[in-house]
């Protein structure tokens, strides 16, 4: 798993930017998420944060698609659809949560799997459910071989398939 955690030093956080794919875009998305969290606080439904993120992404003049459906194929056969909460600038997968608990490895694994399946270069995992916004910038796995074993957990498949 290849993941970068945010720094916990307030002074450093204001000035430090991590190099990586789409760093300017991810910086703007995190800023939008902070604006949303500061305005709404914790304790609301995920859908509320999702809608507020759309408004803030528009204000930041970032192009995005909401609930982006991505058809997933394994061995040439469609296994279902992934729904990305937001796909920003056609390159950054944004997954939003509203959990009162800290993000777990399972949520991180979900974004890693999305990145492996879609081949997008970077993902952001946002958790609005705590007193402070929790966010993780996630890069795709170095090896793409294992994602097919995990993907079925996250895809939507119509009944009867």
Residue 54 CB coordination number (10 Å):
16
Rounded to whole angstroms, how far apart are CA atoms 22 and 74?
Answer: 28
Nearest to 33 by CA among 96, 90, 87: 96
Handedness of CA 7, 136, 109, 76 (dihedral sign): negative
| H-run or E-run covering 160 | none
Q: What are the pLDDT digits (tens) for 35-72?
A: 999 999 999 999 999 999 999 999 999 999 999 999 98
Q: What are the pLDDT digits (tens) for 96-138?
A: 999 999 999 999 989 998 998 888 999 999 999 999 999 999 9
Q: What is the pLDDT of residue 130?
A: 97
Rounded to whole angstroms, how far apart are CA atoms 118 and 91?
Answer: 10
Q: Is the pLDDT of residue 80 over 60?
A: yes
Rounded to whole angstroms, how far apart are CA atoms 33 and 136?
Answer: 12
Q: Which fold is adopted by the domain 21-153? A: Trna Endonuclease; Chain: A, domain 1 (3.40.1350)
Return all residues near 57 (Cβ < 8 A) that are at least 6 apart.
Answer: 29, 32, 64, 86, 88
Rounded to whole angstroms, how far apart are CA atoms 40 and 65?
Answer: 22
In the chain, where the domains are located: 21-153
């Amino acid at each position: 798993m290849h993941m970068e955690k945010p720094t916990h030093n307030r002074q450093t956080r204001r000035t430090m930017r991590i190099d990586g794919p789409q760093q300017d875009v991810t910086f703007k998305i995190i800023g939008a998420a902070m604006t949303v969290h500061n305005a709404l606080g914790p304790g609301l439904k995920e859908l509320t944060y999702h809608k507020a993120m759309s408004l803030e992404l528009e204000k930041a003049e970032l192009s995005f698609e909401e609930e982006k459906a991505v058809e997933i194929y394994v061995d040439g056969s469609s296994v279902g659809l992934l729904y990305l909460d937001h796909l920003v600038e056609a390159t950054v997968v944004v997954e939003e949560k509203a959990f009162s608990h800290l993000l777990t490895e399972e949520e991180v694994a979900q974004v890693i799997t999305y990145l492996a399946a879609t081949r997008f270069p970077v993902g952001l995992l946002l958790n609005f459910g705590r007193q402070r916004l929790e966010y993780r910038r996630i890069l795709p796995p170095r090896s793409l071989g294992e994602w097919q074993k995990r993907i079925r957990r996250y895809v939507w498949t119509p009944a009867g398939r």
